[in-house]
Amino acid sequence: MVTILIDDEPAAIIELHGMLRKKHPNLLVAGSADNIRDGLQKIETVKPDLIFLDIEMPGGSGFDLIRQLKKGNRPEIIFVTSQSNYAIQAFSCAALGYVLKPVEWKPLAEAIGVAEERIRQKNNEQRLETLLENLKTSDSSKKKIGIPHDRGVEFVPAGSIVYCEGEERYTRIHLKEDGTRLSSYAIGQYRKMLADHDFYPIHRSILVNRNFVKRMNRAGELELTTKKRLTVSRRRRAEVEAWLKAD
């Protein structure tokens, strides 16, 4: 895969380039840039398959660079960042790859492996558009959540998810009007993705959207607007009661 590194820290580019050369010789690093303008020019010239992209840089953010890429011909992107949980959650919701600074070998290898598979699937346009759409809205119910499965990635509004149910290493997503989806992500991933979307783990394997909860009955069950009843873990009942009463 032809690759470009875009980061305003020269030391970070040198370090990442060395790691790729040593452990990932299948990646051809065809250039680098330390700002958005030069990065866009390099992308236009080289037409890479993959970009390692920092977020905060002179002249604009990595998100600004994505907005300026020509639609229909955007490369796969792995974000390399020391950004806050907000940015990381945005990447996760849009099913985009990222590694945290300082870059470590194992997360880097995992991100590259996923990127290689996604390049074969050719679905990065939808993921990047989802990221940009999510960044534009403050309504958490309208932000879209990626559901990776064996046919690629499907995106649904967070507000359409009634609850998530862990099934071993997978997660069953229960939607308001469109049945269920089996995601290849474990339930822990959805806890992170939905942390700011008014969801709560009522059990170690069940995550519920408060907007679909009618009440908690005396038996310790949540009664949902869909007529479904979910049992709350005994040790979490007080926490769930407080969550339901919170503004």
Can you give the pLDDT at residue 84?
Answer: 67
Name the E strands within 70-160.
76-81, 97-100, 144-149, 152-157
Separation between Cα atoms, residue 142 and residue 130, nearest integer Å: 11
* CATH for 166: 2.40.50.1020
Are 19 and 47 members of one domain? yes
Q: What is the DSSP string of 64-84?
A: HHHHHSPTT-PPEEEEEE---
Are 6 and 68 members of one domain? yes
Separation between Cα atoms, residue 35 and residue 77, nearest integer Å: 16
Are 8 and 129 members of one domain? yes
**Final residue of a structural domain among 118, 134, 150:** 134
Domain holding 18, by residue range, is 2-134
Can you give the pLDDT at residue 60?
Answer: 87
Are 11 and 122 members of one domain? yes
Are 146 and 128 members of one domain? no
**Final residue of a structural domain among 88, 112, 134:** 134
CA-based nearest residue to 153, from 132, 177, 176, 131: 131
Are 25 and 104 members of one domain? yes
pLDDT band for position 75 (cuts 50, 70, 90): very high
Are 123 and 145 members of one domain? no
pLDDT digits (tens, 9 = 90+) for 114-167: 999 888 877 789 999 999 999 999 999 999 999 988 777 899 999 999 999 999
Are 190 and 212 members of one domain? yes
% residues pLDDT > 90 (the chain): 79
Are 175 and 226 members of one domain? yes
Q: Cβ–Cβ contacts within 10 Å for residue 92, how many?
A: 21
**Final residue of a structural domain among 114, 134, 154:** 134
Number of domains in the chain: 2
Are 143 and 57 members of one domain? no
* CATH for 129: 3.40.50.2300
Are 126 and 226 members of one domain? no
